[in-house]
Amino acid sequence: MATVQSDRNWKIKIYPDDHAPPHFHVQTPDGESLVQIDGFRVLGKGAEPKALKAALMWARSHSAELWRIWYEQNRRT
């Protein structure tokens, strides 16, 4: 598992050998949400909304890094 970024109230993680579509997890003390990298569509709601919003702001400006880590962690051989 790669923790891509963390802040006081949230963490962005990408898990190895995870399912499609390419996505990342936003973890907060209250829960977790899945977010599709392409378009940043929230696939599962559980993270605290204010923290999720902050994580999405970070993610939008670091999409190339998220794609790179997704493909490093989820190479299919």
DSSP assignment, residue 61? T
∠ Cα 54 34 37 (to 5°): 80
Say whether pTM exceeds 0.95. no
pLDDT in tens, the chain (77 residues): 788 999 999 999 999 999 989 999 999 999 999 999 999 999 988 999 999 999 999 999 999 999 999 999 998 64
